[in-house]
């Protein structure tokens, strides 16, 4: 296989585009795709201050790297989730990346600042804390962005993530989620940051190849809590189909965004107000994050002390 | 066609596999092309690259899970 730009031996094939690139030409192709996505979906401009949600994985670090190369003002934010060695290693990778490139990385430490860790938030039925983890991430990324005046939060969600989410929402006919799934979530309240996904048209493999070629040192291992996650089964199924139908994931997702979403979009304007406890935007009296933390702390009265938080009263927001 | 030495990340499990090219290698390991990157001597390989007996190959997973 040869590079479609310079005819040198190719390193990265992008089957859905029927293209292949050498390691020299690939990073430019990747960044051009990111730029096009940002422009086509009017995500942000070079005047905006962007807060990139960093996990230490390939997607978030590749995104941060690409945004800086494209000339955007992008700072990072990392949440210390307290998932054992995995968290320690991903934190180290995130900090090392920021230090190497002289970048600003904001951090929230759940155990020290809020008195709990993600493994303690396991759902009793599923045994997984992923739903809680999602709530925690949305809450803190939004809060830091609003408090520090960033105009937009960018996450590293890629084509595989978005196609798997769509697949799951279709399988279960989650029409309310379907109506809200998209690469741009507009702000509907002054305390709610805009959220964008500049990698949503690039496959997971594309961002890994970018990270490897650009020598970005990311955490290759998986979060231990992800074992057995439904999203992994959906990705596997979609990748099995993609083997013989290259481009299927892209068509599925982009086809939905262009055509399907209209059909399910619920236009009832949800009333956003401020959480009675913390002031963050919510549709309820008390926000999902505050309710979750309260529920857990009731069940785990001695939660804060072994973590080095405030003895017995981990509820500080 | 001889055996290539394969190391699968992140746990670095090792296998010896008979495979003529990269596509064949992934198929014999039962892995999807979109879920892995194959590297030899620090260089990423496309699926048509021919493999030689004794090649040291790294297979990197690219899929992450969770919410
Ligand atoms: S796998 Fe679950 S717990 Fe781990 S980071 Fe992802 S959402 Fe959080
Ligand atoms: Zn080239
Ligand atoms: Zn609240």
Give residue limits of the domains in chain B.
2-61
**What are the tens digits of pLDDT across the range A62-83?**
999 999 999 999 999 999 999 9
pLDDT in tens, A85-133: 999 999 999 999 999 999 999 999 999 999 999 999 988 777 889 999 9
- Per-residue pLDDT at A267: 64
Residue A310 inside a domain? The answer is: no
For position A315, what pLDDT does the model report?
A: 28
CATH of the domain at A53: 3.40.50.620
* pLDDT attached to residue B1: 57
Residue A306 has pLDDT above 50, yes or no: no
What pLDDT does residue A308 have? 35
Give the residue from chain A lying closest to B44, CA to CA. Answer: A11
pLDDT tens digit sequence for B18-58: 999 999 999 999 999 999 999 999 999 999 999 999 999 99
Residue A94 CA, ligand 1 centroid: distance in Å: 16
Q: What is the rounded average pLDDT of the residues A260-282? A: 85
Whether A3 maps to a domain, the answer reads no
For residue A313, pLDDT over 60 is answered with no
Rounded to the nearest angstrom, the minimum Cα separation between B55 and chain A is 17
A300: in domain: no
A103 Cα to chain B: minimum distance (Å): 25
How many structural domains does chain A have? 1
Q: Considering chain A, what is the average pLDDT of its residues? A: 91
Can you give the residue range of the structural domain that contains A179? 26-221+229-269
Best mutation target among A205, A223, A228 (most B Cβ atoms within 10 Å) is A205
ipTM of the complex: 0.96
Can you tell me which atom of ligand 1 is nearest the CA of A223? 4
Please report whether residue A302 resides in a domain. no
User: Does domain B2-61 match CATH 3.10.20.30?
Assistant: yes
Q: Residue written as tokens 């690409």?
A: A66
Atom of ligand 1 nearest to the CA of A129: 3
User: Closest ligand to A1 CA?
Assistant: 2
Confidence of residue A268 (pLDDT cuts 50, 70, 90): low
In a domain, A112, yes or no: yes
pLDDT at position B2: 67
| pLDDT, tens only, A186-212 | 998 999 999 999 999 999 999 999 999
Over pLDDT 90: what percentage of chain A?
Answer: 81
Among partner residues B39, B45, B63, which is closest to A204 by beta-carbon distance? B63
A275 alpha carbon, closest ligand? 3
Q: Which of A209, A232, A243 minimises the CB distance to B37?
A: A209
Asked which of A121-125, A260-264, A275-279, A308-312 is least confident by mean pLDDT, the reply is A308-312
Residue ranges of chain B whose CB lies within 8 Å of a chain A CB: 9-11, 32-37, 39, 43-49, 60-67
Q: What is the mean pLDDT of chain B?
A: 93
A15 is a domain residue? no
pLDDT grade for A314, boundaries at 50, 70 and 90? very low
A9 vs A180: which has the higher pLDDT = A9
């Amino acid at each position: 296989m040869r590079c479609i730009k310079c005819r040198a031996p190719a390193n990265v094939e992008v089957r859905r585009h029927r293209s292949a690139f050498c390691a020299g030409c690939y990073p430019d192709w990747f960044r051009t795709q990111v730029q096009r996505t940002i422009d086509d979906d009017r995500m942000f401009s070079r005047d905006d201050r962007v807060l990139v949600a960093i996990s230490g994985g390939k997607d978030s670090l590749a995104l941060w790297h690409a945004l800086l190369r494209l000339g955007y003002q992008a700072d990072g934010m990392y949440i210390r989730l307290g998932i054992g060695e995995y968290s320690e290693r991903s934190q180290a990778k995130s900090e090392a990346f920021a230090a190497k490139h002289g970048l600003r990385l904001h951090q929230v430490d759940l155990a020290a600042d809020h008195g709990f860790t993600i493994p303690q938030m396991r759902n009793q039925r599923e045994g997984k804390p992923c739903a809680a983890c999602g709530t925690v991430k949305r809450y803190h990324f939004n809060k830091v962005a609003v408090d520090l005046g960033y105009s937009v939060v960018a996450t590293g969600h890629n084509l595989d993530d978005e196609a798997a989410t769509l697949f799951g929402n279709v399988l279960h006919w989650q029409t309310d989620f379907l109506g809200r799934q998209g690469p741009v979530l507009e702000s509907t309240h002054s305390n709610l940051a805009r959220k964008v996904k500049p990698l949503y048209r690039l496959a997971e493999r594309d961002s890994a190849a970018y990270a490897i070629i650009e020598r970005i040192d990311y955490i290759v291992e998986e979060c231990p809590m992800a074992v057995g996650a439904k999203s992994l089964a959906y990705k596997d199924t979609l990748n099995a189909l993609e083997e013989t139908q290259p481009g299927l994931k892209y068509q599925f997702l982009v086809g939905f965004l262009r055509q399907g979403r209209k059909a399910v979009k619920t236009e009832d304007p949800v009333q956003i107000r401020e959480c009675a406890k913390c002031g963050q935007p919510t549709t309820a009296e008390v926000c999902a994050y505050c309710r979750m933390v309260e529920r857990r702390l009731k069940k785990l009265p001695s939660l804060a002390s072994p973590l080095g938080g405030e003895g017995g009263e981990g509820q500080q927001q | 066609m001889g055996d290539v030495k394969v190391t699968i990340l992140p746990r670095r499990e090792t296998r010896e596999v008979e495979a003529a090219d990269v596509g064949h290698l992934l198929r014999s390991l039962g892995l999807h092309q979109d879920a892995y990157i194959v590297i030899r001597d620090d260089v990423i390989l496309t699926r048509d690259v021919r493999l030689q007996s004794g090649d040291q190959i790294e297979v990197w997973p690219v899929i992450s899970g969770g919410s």
